Amino acid sequence: MAMNQLDALKQFTTVVADTGDFRQLSAFQPQDATTNPSLILKAVQKAEYAPLMTEAVARWRGQPLDEVMDRLIVRFGCEILSLIPGRVSTEVDARLSFDTAATVARGERIIALYQAEGIARERVLVKIASTWEGIQAARQLEERGIRTNLTLLFSFAQAVACGQAKVQLISPFVGRIYDWYKKQAGAGWDEAAMAGPNDPGVQSVRQIYQHYKRFGIATEVMGASFRNTGQIIALAGCDLLTIAPDLLAQLAASDAPVQRALDPDAARGLDLPAVEYDEAGFRYALNADAMATEKLAEGIRAFAADAAKLEQLMQAAA
């Protein structure tokens, strides 16, 4: 019997489930799982998860809203960790994306809440937007033994700065990069010509992966935000890939062949320039990349809006 694409992919890459809907996890047996404010918001609006929110709000009534929200997202994280062998990523409030000190404090609180539930800090990645301030917060958290996942990452400059900060893991967003280039091209977009290895989101992750492997940067690369299985297969061999349940199901239903596309040994042999950024250089490089500038800002706005909506639901439940 031929191996399905999901099992074939797992030979080369750690598969991560991108969902707040933890009841779906057992079907795909991912190693790790990632959540974000939008995914948690989506989950608490389903009948089977609504009691988690009601319970958190009732239990912590009278506490500041931001603390109740952290307790709720940690509750989801604990449920997820009971179903997977690896790590869960839990996001710091996106409204703190430009405040290093507040991000550090929130990251420490999230870890303390997990530890109070008996969860070892090694099983949690604190998720932070890849702004300059976020990357510096991650540097401080890593120095304190708290592992981080730098998200909303769209550019090589962001990846380089994350590597310099020695963060545990980055999540470059494939699908949102693809969305931007497709929208820019309008009627001129050729879907077939821009698929697979030619996809601009896939190319972005490949460049980051090759740079990290070539220069011995230990930060893990986890491709994220996929629009189709072609993008996923084109990144087979990436350290990790975080995939939504509908795409995991498509991979599980296909037995088309999967070959390693990213190879650490091949990357180590490449002739690539060394790159480093200070703050001014980072800000200039990010500013020079219109796609990354726009997508980072848009992503922070969307996550902040969903965090605010989650707060409104919690207030209504109180």
Beta strands in 133-239 (DSSP E): 148-153, 169-172, 220-223
Distance CA 6, CA 248 (A): 7
CB contact at 8 A, 111 and 146: yes
Distance CA 105, CA 207 (A): 33
Catalytic option among 10, 42, 46, 127: 127
* DSSP conformation letters of 199-224: -HHHHHHHHHHHHHHHTT---EEEEB
Residue type at position 119: I
> What is the DSSP pairing of strand 32-34 with strand 88-91?
parallel
Distance CA 68, CA 63 (A): 7
Q: Any catalytic annotation for residue 127? A: yes
Query: CA 176: distance to chain centroid?
Result: 12
Cβ atoms within 10 Å of 58's Cβ, excluding its own:
10
Distance CA 187, CA 179 (A): 13
Q: What is the set of active-site residues?
A: 127
